[in-house]
Amino acid sequence: MQHPHPNVLPYLGCLVEDGRVAGLCFRKASKTLMEMVNPKMVLKVKFDASCHPLPNKEKLLQGWEAGIRHIHSIGYVHNDVHPTNLMVLDDGTPVVIDFDMLTKKGTIQYGGRCEWSDQEVSIASEKRDWDGMQEIRTWLDEGTEKKWLFGSHINLV
């Protein structure tokens, strides 16, 4: 709330029940990037963006990247950049969401989706977020022959 940005989903407060936080409140967003282009959630190595092109792709990507730059500018790393953590508001504004893995730069951080991030990285760094965005850009390129950074060994049916 102290550092708002148009491409970061606004935190509105929390719901308190019996003196305990029962939920976090955010502005409503309409669809994730995954829902927009890959509603069947096909594995990224089998996904072909030419079958589901993203309207205004570059404008949306630039907005999400602006949100990530803002997060970095206040000393944090998102740590979990993938298509279900990028959304579009009803007015068309791209926003970064889901901050449960948000940590200060340089702190210990494990996790992230194995298909979208380097599982060997244990320190939160901006590179981790930019690698996630590069993976998304690759995912959204047309065709199935792509050079993946992570998760290309996953071939589940």
Domains of the chain: 29-140 (1.10.510.10)
| pLDDT for position 144 | 66
Would you say the C-alpha torsion 32, 38, 42, 45 has a positive or negative sign? Answer: negative
The single-letter code of the amino acid at 28 is K
> 141 with 49: CB under 8 angstroms?
yes
CA distance 82 to 101: 12
Give the pLDDT mean for 42-49: 80
| pLDDT for position 110 | 65
What confidence tens digit (pLDDT) does each residue in 100-152 have? 888 999 898 766 666 777 777 778 899 999 999 999 999 998 776 778 887 65
Widest CA span in the chain: 54
106 Cβ neighbours under 8 A, 6+ residues apart: 123, 124, 125
| pLDDT for position 114 | 65
CA distance 13 to 33: 25
Backbone angles phi, psi at 72, to 5 degrees: -65, -35
Please report which confidence band the pLDDT of residue 45 belongs to, taking 50, 70 and 90 as the band edges: confident
CA distance 103 to 144: 34
**pTM for the complete prediction?**
0.87
Place of tokens 């709330």: 1
Three-state DSSP at 138 gives helix
> 24 with 14: CB under 8 angstroms?
yes
> 122 with 110: CB under 8 angstroms?
yes
Three-state DSSP at 132 gives helix
- What's the token pair of residue 15? 């719901």
